[in-house]
Amino acid sequence: MAVKYLEEYKIFKLDTAHTSYCIGIADVEGFLGHIYYGKKVGDEDLNYLLRTCEPPFVPFRNNRDRTSFYDQFPFEYSGNGLGDYRESSIIVRTPEGGCGVLPLFESYEILEKKPKLQGLPATFDNDGKALVLHCGDPALGLKVDLIYGVFEEADAITRSVIVRNDGEKPLWLEKIYSVCMDMEDRGYEMLTLHGSWARERQMDFRSLGYGKQSVGSLRGETSHQEHPFLALLERGADRERDGGQDRGEVYGLQLVYSGNFLAQVEKTQMNTLRVVMGIHPEGFCWKLQPGESFTAPEAILTFSDQGLDGMTRSFHQVIRKHLIRGPYRNRKRPILINNWEATYFDFNTEKLLKIAECAAGLGIEMLVMDDGWFGHRNDDSSSLGDWKVNEEKLPGGLSALAEGVNRLGMKLGIWLEPEMISPDSELYRAHPDWAIRLPEREPALCRCQYVLDLSRREVRDYVFESVCAVLHSANIEYVKWDMNRQLSDLGSAELPADRAGELYHRYVLGVYELQERLLAEFPELLLENCSGGGARFDAGMLYYSPQIWCSDDTDAIERLKIQEGTALLYPLSAMGAHVSACPNHAVGRVTPFETRGFVALAGTFGYELDVTRLSEEERAQIPEQIRLYHRYNDLVREGEYYRIASYQRNHEYDCYMVVSRNRREALVTYVQVLNRPNYRSRVIRLKGLDPAKRYLVEGLKHLEGRRIGGDALMNAGLTIPGMWGDFRGMLIHMTAE
Ligand code: GLA
């Protein structure tokens, strides 16, 4: 039984294969306390960890010091304004202006499956039951349900919160986090992912100081800059030894959400930590009329005593099996060629078909036509919103192009940016009020465009219908759904003043609704999300698209860092990665074509170049890369990922591997970023193999045809010879009999 109520001890216990999560009811008033989360323990009475027999005591015993009690009790979900001076999880304003709230336990339910979250992406099919703790604050007439899902096999727990106004007056929800977790500080370090355009998701470690340390986004999307994730690591768990990050205790939390978020750790006077995560409270205020409810997005929590590697495996498993949906989730994706870096806006059917023809001959399976095929868009200054084909570029429209591409035996995919509106568009001229803007200001342009107000049904319907018309007009089997600017000037022509603070979240709900409708209309469509590269690469979007474009930086060496940070949380099957032309358009670097292939093989794989203009020598390598893709993609998509070495931290080389679930096959990717003079080979120790199996090693000349035991490969290691030149790579394949 993965969820239990230990009635005698008044403890709720959630067990996964290797972890336990315990919540206790502290006294007659119903204070819910966080007792423990960590390595699996027995069904003990651990209520003593709530320390209610120590000063300042539980109010039931000593009411003189209620504020001190509130300020020190490890609340499972903290209230606001009543004496807990640490971070609140919820703020509720009454019509009179008061803001006190404290949800107390009322009753519970243990369910077979987690309830669905209305309008929000969430994990599903949990194999270990679910718990709902019904809490309430009678002074406000507010009900607060804390929802927990247990993923036994994946060692993960999900949390979300639903609040309902059961009173007679309206209430305004000014903050609602999805997670609050109070815990002892054992000298943890904090890991987050930071970045910028073309530099997404780089790992950032810091030690914890007293007070609050946080990452967040107020950009209306998860952002290039920060990521809805944090981990707490036992000191040393991050340090790269040879073999990397497979030791030490790690807590990982991520939010299944694609808008403004906050992820924060607060170190208190008592050396405890309060970890919170949820929608960013700044700019957020949601009106709850009597009877109305609000659902906070889901967060996924993991604990591992096998370092970051353990955390990664849990996240990958949950996301792969319980979050990504649709026909492609377990399927090999078509190898695509995208014309963005090949032509930018300067293309027509003839040019595209030439690229497609050459690509088809090399084994590439799908042509993706990127930005610039609609309206009069010849640069980024116009036409977003006018989803009508530009017949000057594409005579005969999309259907003629699709027929041409299909005749070559290839599929056709297209780029769309449905959430946007260009001031220079028919749509804007007809509906200037459809852009998000403040009435008293000229809205700020970003990439020459505004954001559509997706909180409005008529706007969502227009977007849906125009996208459907495009997709029904030809045989289009893939869509790259882009989103190229962050939100600003938050104002909606329709939302009344006391609902203005709902716009950020309503926008995200609008995006989710649109993608859900799209998938219902086109169930076979392969959707790839994108946002100026990887600004909305998050678990929320993965519920709708099985893959997301990782970054506009396609340089293989920069990608090592970006893909390391991305793969820390997300399965390789979700990572859009392409081979592009050199000198690379983002950094001007020249790397061997072969290395570009090895790095892109860790993701969904494709090309982003004009294949007709490659050198003979480079073009000739494509069929070999495609052969490798077909040979290894099942393993890459479904296998377990292990980090062996991190270029981001050692500045010299990168190494990771994937191992099949039955441990019979493994693939190691090794990239020597910088060569060194006068050194001997490098010894790397592998991971995740079966110590009892013997593996045939392929790809290392000096060991070709040798069988080596898994125990030796993991403990003694392999020698990797230096390669002449920088940016060189190799794949080492291993099979056991
Ligand atoms: C974004 C995407 C690119 C490309 C351009 C087109 O930047 O990340 O891949 O599609 O938009 O404008």
The pLDDT assigned to 238 comes to 65
pLDDT in tens, 467-495: 999 999 999 999 999 999 999 999 999 99
Beta-bridge partners for 374: 389
Rounded to the nearest angstrom, the distance between the alpha carbon of 624 and the centre of ligand 1 is 28
Segment 279-323, tens digit of pLDDT: 999 999 999 999 999 999 999 999 999 999 999 999 999 999 999
| Residues across the chain | 737
The closest-lying atom of ligand 1 relative to the alpha carbon of residue 415 is 10
Cα–Cα distance for residue pair 496/500, rounded to 1 Å: 6
Distance CA 225, CA 66 (A): 41
Active site residues: 482, 552
Whose CA is closest to atom 7 on ligand 1? Answer: 532
pLDDT digits (tens, 9 = 90+) for 202-220: 999 999 999 999 999 999 9
Question: Whose alpha carbon is nearest atom 6 of ligand 1?
Answer: 371
Q: How far is the CA of 530 from the centre of ligand 1 (A)?
A: 8
Farthest CA pair distance, the chain: 83
- Tokens (6 digits) for 649: 């931290």
- Pairing assessment for the beta strands 171-184 and 286-288 based on DSSP bridges: antiparallel
Average pLDDT on 9-13 reads 98
- Give the HSE-up count for residue 606: Cα atoms under 13 Å, Cβ half-sphere: 27
Who lines ligand 1 at CB under 6 A?
A: 340, 370-371, 415, 482, 484, 530, 532-533, 549, 552
Per-residue pLDDT at 28 exceeds 90 = no
How many Å separate Cα 588 from the centre of its chain?
29
Distance CA 447, CA 422 (A): 9
Cα-to-chain-centroid distance, residue 302? 15
Angle at 551 between CA 547 and CA 552, to 5 degrees: 125
Measure 494 CA to ligand 1 centroid, in angstroms.
31
Of the given ranges (226-240, 475-489, 534-548, 553-567), which has the lowest mean pLDDT? Answer: 226-240
d(CA 508, CA 323): 18
What atom in ligand 1 is closest to the CA of residue 531? 8
pLDDT at 692 over 80: yes
- C-alpha 607/C-alpha 619 separation (Å) is 11
Q: In what order do the strands lie in the sheet with 575-576?
A: 575-576, 547-549, 526-529, 478-481, 411-416, 366-369, 336-338, 606-608, 579-580
Residue with tokens 């718990």: 131
Cβ–Cβ < 8 Å for 250, 311: yes
* Closest ligand 1 atom to Cα of 608: 9
For the residues of 39-95, what is the DSSP string, one character each? E---S---GGGG-TTSTT--TTT-GGGHHHHHHHS-BSS--BSSS--S--SEEEE-T
Q: Ligand 1 pocket: which of 346, 379, 448, 482 to mutate (most atoms <8 Å of CB)?
A: 482
Calculate mean pLDDT across residues 94-116: 97
Q: Is the pLDDT of residue 405 over 80?
A: yes
CB distance 331 to 324 below 8 Å: no
240 pLDDT exceeds 60?
Answer: no
107-117: b (≥16 Cβ within 10 Å) or e:
ebeeeeebbeb
399 by Cβ neighbours in 10 Å (0-12 / 13-18 / 19+) ranks as middle
* 341 Cα to the center of ligand 1, angstroms: 9
Ligand 1 atom 1: residue of nearest CA: 532
Closest ligand 1 atom to residue 380 Cα is 12
Mean pLDDT for all residues in the chain:
97
CA 271: distance to chain centroid? 31
As a whole number, mean pLDDT of residues 141-164 equals 98
> Residues of the chain with pLDDT > 70: what percent?
99
In what helix (H) or strand (E) does residue 519 lie, and over which residues does it extend? helix 503-521
Q: Which domains occur in the chain, in start order?
A: 3-322 (2.70.98.60), 644-736 (2.60.40.1180)
Whether residue 701 is predicted with pLDDT greater than 90 in this model: the reply is yes
pLDDT band, residue 60 (cuts 50/70/90): confident
In order of 204, 297, 698, 712, 716, the CA distances from 684 in angstroms are: 24, 41, 16, 11, 8
Q: How far is CA 216 from CA 120, 224, 620, in A?
A: 20, 11, 46
Which atom belonging to ligand 1 lies closest to the Cα atom of 533?
A: 8
Nearest-CA residue for ligand 1 atom 2 is 532
Is residue 30 pLDDT above 70, yes or no?
yes
| DSSP letters for 263-301 | EEEEE-TTSEEEEEEEE-STT--EEE-TT-EEEPPEEEE
State the average pLDDT over residues 545-570.
Answer: 98
- pLDDT higher than 60, residue 241: no
Least confident stretch, 41-55, 87-101, 224-238, 591-605: 224-238
Assign 244 a pLDDT band (cuts: 50, 70, 90). Answer: low
Which amino acid residue places its CA nearest to atom 11 of ligand 1? 532
Place of tokens 């995208």: 338
pLDDT in the model for residue 2 = 95
Residue bearing tokens 């990782």: 550
CA 480 / ligand 1 centre spacing (Å): 9
Give the pLDDT score at 237. 72
Cβ 249 vs Cβ 187: under 8 Å: no
Percent of the chain clearing pLDDT 90 (strictly above): 97
Distance 387 CA to ligand 1 centre (A): 17
Please determine, for residue 446, whether its predicted confidence score (pLDDT) is greater than 60: yes
Burial class (CB in 10 A: 0-12, 13-18, 19+), 698: middle
| Separation CA 75–CA 53 (nearest Å) | 16
The predicted structure's pLDDT at residue 245: 85
pLDDT tens column, 609-630: 999 999 999 999 999 999 999 9
Atom of ligand 1 nearest to the CA of 480: 10
- DSSP 3-state assignment of 560? helix
What are the angstrom distances between the C-alpha of 415 and each of 368, 377, 531? 7, 13, 12
Distance 371 CA to ligand 1 centre (A): 7
605 CA distance to ligand 1 middle (Å): 17
pLDDT of residue 235: 81
